[in-house]
Amino acid sequence: MGKLIKDAHSVWNTLNGIFLVFKPAGIHYLGTLNTLNLNLQRDFNKLEVRPPMKYVSIEGPTNKEMRVVVRDSYADNPLVVGPRFREKNFRMVTVNNLDIDTSGVLVVAINYGTRLRYVFKEFRPTVLYKVKGILGQMRRNNFMDGAIVEKSTWKHIRREHIDRVCASMQASHQKMMFQLSGLDIQSQEAYELAVKGPIRPNDPNIPLLYSIKCINFTPPEFTLEIVCINTSSEYLKSVTAEIGIKLHSTAHCNYLHCSQYGLFHVKDSLLSKHWNLSNILNNMNMCQNLISKHSSILSEKQPNLAMQIAT
């Protein structure tokens, strides 16, 4: 790695793939991409870049023997035209767009690695979220920065009550999978479909919760762990509010955290202080090894509801 870091051209040829960064809450994912772009520009321009192009001029009086002079071209000098690497040189997109209120692992594709974005969008991996809520208050946007529209009592709520509501919501979503497919949940066809893996709806606008459970309850606060697909932050906030209503109270969300996106876990993501060229290359290599190790998962045909409707 040390040998590659010295030469900008060699490093540039390896900067194709995906890497993981940790996006804090309160920052838009486009702002994260902008910071990454600036950091990469900074680090690349510190490397050994190509020298300025040469300018050939013929000088001297025309009635005598003239001389050929070769010098650096001012039209290609970094002091005149600016640094070699600029914002337009780096093509970066996010595979999973995290809302401004959501923190967690952000999967970034760069240069030719942007093609992998469509692979993951087609595969639609499951996502693990950690969601925290507060009982007793309903807010306008179901999040902590919204105006309070209703207050209610919550001291009658116990841990087992939340567990019961979570189990009911999970069962209803599992039942909905098979209802949309037109299969009896007790049938052999439903069993054969289920053993193939998580059932993915053909319509990407249909949210599904594969698992929802309470992992911590410190009244009035509670923490949920949700495994889902096709969900947005707004939907997860509404789930928190729905739990409050089913508990004969109210609730709003005050924390959203994406812990895992498919193969990629937040523990492998880079903190903002590590957003530099060397760490990004190392993280990119780690992601490539992970994808190669599980390449069969991305290529295999996933069960979806459209397949069952057509049969």
DSSP class of residue 274 equals G
The pairs formed by 293-301 with CB atoms below 8 angstroms and a separation of 24 or more are 294/263, 297/263, 298/119, 298/120, 298/123
Distances (CA, A) of 308 to 120, 189, 192, 290: 22, 9, 11, 31
DSSP string, 183-242: --TTSHHHHHHHTTSPPBPSSTTS-EEEEEEEEEEETTEEEEEEEEES--HHHHHHHHHH
Q: How far apart are CA 164 and CA 213, in angstroms?
A: 9
Residue with tokens 């942007």: 114
The pairing of beta strand 208-218 with beta strand 221-229: antiparallel
Which one of 99, 145, 184, 203 is the catalytic residue?
Answer: 99
Burial class (CB in 10 A: 0-12, 13-18, 19+), 290: middle
Q: How far apart are CA 95 and CA 117, in angstroms?
A: 5
Q: Which amino acid is at 200?
A: R
**Residue 43 annotated among the catalytic residues of the structure:** no
Structure tokens at 86: 């600029």
The catalytic residue positions are 99
